[in-house]
């Protein structure tokens, strides 16, 4: 009887630990417009919300590309409003295999981003940290590469 209870508790603990680990893998961030970038780029401020105070620039880059593709961004003060480049969040689910590799730690998503020097900020908010940075996202090249991979439709494809 005690073995059975112990085994049940062990299974429940393992299952909850796995579920918690999967939640940690999700990108937890905010994105907003940060002004006007050069032609073919977006200038955005990305804020990653994490339990750790030190995260690398690659995570910020992946969040920036993810936000540009699937969330879009705005800034009321600057009157910026940009719709998601992919058009719909469903595109991520439809091409899950492609985006799993694309957004992986060694994936190619970070190649479309450049950080603005001196823009990184770390703010403690309760038990979490908000790590912000202003980055440029090469939307033109990103769109071109995803279009050639058959992930998003071209501008000339019609309706």
Q: Could you read off the pLDDT of 83-110 as tens digits, one per residue? A: 999 988 889 999 999 999 999 989 999 9
Residue 153 within a domain = no
Whether the per-residue pLDDT at 74 is higher than 60: the answer is yes
Please give the residue range of the domain that contains residue 61.
Answer: 25-148
Tell me if 17 is assigned to some domain.
no
Does a structural domain hold residue 110? Answer: yes
Q: Which long-range contacts (CB under 8 A, 24 or more apart) does 75-82 make?
A: 75/32, 75/33, 75/34, 78/33, 78/35, 80/33, 81/33, 82/33, 82/42
pLDDT at position 80:
82
Number of domains in the chain: 1
Q: Is residue 34 part of a domain?
A: yes
Residue 11 lies in a domain: no
Any alpha helices (H) in the chain, and if so which ranges?
A: 2-25, 57-66, 90-94, 96-102, 139-148
């Amino acid at each position: 009887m005690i073995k059975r209870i112990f085994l049940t508790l062990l299974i429940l603990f393992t299952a909850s630990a796995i579920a918690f680990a999967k939640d940690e893998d999700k990108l937890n961030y905010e994105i907003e417009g940060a002004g006007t970038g050069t032609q073919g780029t977006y200038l955005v401020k990305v804020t990653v919300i994490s339990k750790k105070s030190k995260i690398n620039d690659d995570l910020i880059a992946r969040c920036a590309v993810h936000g540009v593709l699937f969330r879009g961004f705005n800034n009321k003060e600057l009157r910026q409003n940009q719709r998601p480049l992919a058009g719909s969040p469903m595109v991520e689910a439809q091409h899950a295999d492609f985006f799993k590799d694309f957004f992986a730690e060694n994936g190619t998503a970070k190649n479309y981003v450049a950080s603005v020097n001196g823009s990184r900020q770390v703010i403690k908010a309760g038990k979490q940290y908000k790590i912000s940075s202003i980055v440029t996202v090469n939307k033109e090249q990103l769109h071109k590469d995803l279009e050639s991979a058959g992930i998003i439709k071209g501008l000339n494809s019609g309706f």
